[in-house]
A and B are shown apart, each in its own frame.
Chain A
């Protein structure tokens, strides 16, 4: 169970990014919507969805949407999720959003994130509007029927109430220390 429910306020954080800069959530409050996405390198679900996240960032950047990806996995047990490997993955895939390393896992614990990927979408006021998965088909983007995240973004940007505020995140469990 996530610690945040729709209607709750964002938990602030500041973490190092693969660009060797520190990124605070507060850096992005000028945006219309911020999606904090817990993800990682090694998980096949995270990898299956990452192109869609890149596309969403590209499609919605002009409308003031910012994705912020965070990996919190224990890199000792899962070396593919180490900070140097995160840098490689970001470079390789051309991530168009910050990719941050939550080495202490404090941010993931504060949010109560459990899976990768898992989305927490906040509006401009920092209120959680949507929590859950990207869509209903990790395996095939062309076969998606319910675009939960995109629908939530459209509702937030359009100032509308969301019809679905929460879905069960689908993916690997976060690898705790």
Chain B
């Protein structure tokens, strides 16, 4: 399973988001390293289809598929389970995405 973490340096909580992602990855028993990508330019944002920081993809699939598909250097808003807006996805959101991809894999 390939887990990617894309971030924009100017968004303050990317380190916390990465820490959260790594915790969940470890808790789920996934041994593969998280791929970390620093998105630094607008061109790179377009090329990577980056809609905001942090973006987490599991096997290329966004853990919270965005409705907005403008590719820009910005911070990303996540709507949490309780309706709150947060700059970080919750551990449960990450966990659900990992499990969903694991379940859909053959074998």
Which of A78, A79, A172, A175 is B11 in contact with, Cβ under 8 Å? A172
B86 and A172 form a contact (CB under 8 A): no
A47 and B77 form a contact (CB under 8 A): yes
Closest to A171 in B: B12
List B contacts of A45 (CB < 8 A).
12, 75, 87
Interface residues of B in 18-61 (CB under 8 A from A): none
List A contacts of B13 (CB < 8 A).
138
The CA of A171 and the CA of B85, in the complex, are separated in Å by 13
The answer, yes or no, to whether A63 is at the interface (CB within 8 Å) is no
B10 and A48 form a contact (CB under 8 A): no
The answer, yes or no, to whether A2 is at the interface (CB within 8 Å) is no
A115 to chain B, nearest CB (A): 8
The CA of A133 and the CA of B78, in the complex, are separated in Å by 21
List B contacts of A124 (CB < 8 A).
none
B10 and A42 form a contact (CB under 8 A): no
Closest to A115 in B: B12
A172 and B74 form a contact (CB under 8 A): yes
B86 and A173 form a contact (CB under 8 A): no
Interface residues of A in 106-152 (CB under 8 A from B): 138-139
0/1 interface trace, chain A 54-91, chain B, CB 8 Å (1 if under): 00000000000000000000000111000000000000
The CA of A171 and the CA of B70, in the complex, are separated in Å by 20
Which of A47, A78, A79, A175 is B85 in contact with, Cβ under 8 Å? A47
A78 and B86 form a contact (CB under 8 A): no
A172 and B10 form a contact (CB under 8 A): yes
A78 and B74 form a contact (CB under 8 A): yes
The CA of A171 and the CA of B74, in the complex, are separated in Å by 11
The CA of A155 and the CA of B13, in the complex, are separated in Å by 30
* A44-B75 CB under 8 A given contacts A138-B87, A139-B86, A139-B88: yes
Interface residues of A in 4-50 (CB under 8 A from B): 42-45, 47-48
0/1 interface trace, chain B 73-107, chain A, CB 8 Å (1 if under): 01111100000111110000000000000000000
Closest 10 CB pairs of A and B: A44-B77, A44-B87, A47-B85, A172-B75, A173-B10, A170-B12, A44-B75, A139-B86, A48-B85, A45-B87
**Between-chain CB contacts (< 8 Å), 18 pairs:** A42-B74, A42-B77, A43-B74, A43-B75, A44-B78, A45-B12, A45-B87, A47-B77, A48-B84, A48-B86, A78-B72, A138-B86, A138-B87, A139-B87, A139-B88, A172-B10, A172-B75, A175-B74
Kindly list 11 other residue pairs between chains A and B, CB separation below 8 angstroms, not including A138-B86, A139-B87, A172-B10: A42-B74, A43-B74, A45-B87, A47-B85, A48-B84, A78-B72, A79-B70, A139-B86, A172-B11, A172-B75, A173-B10
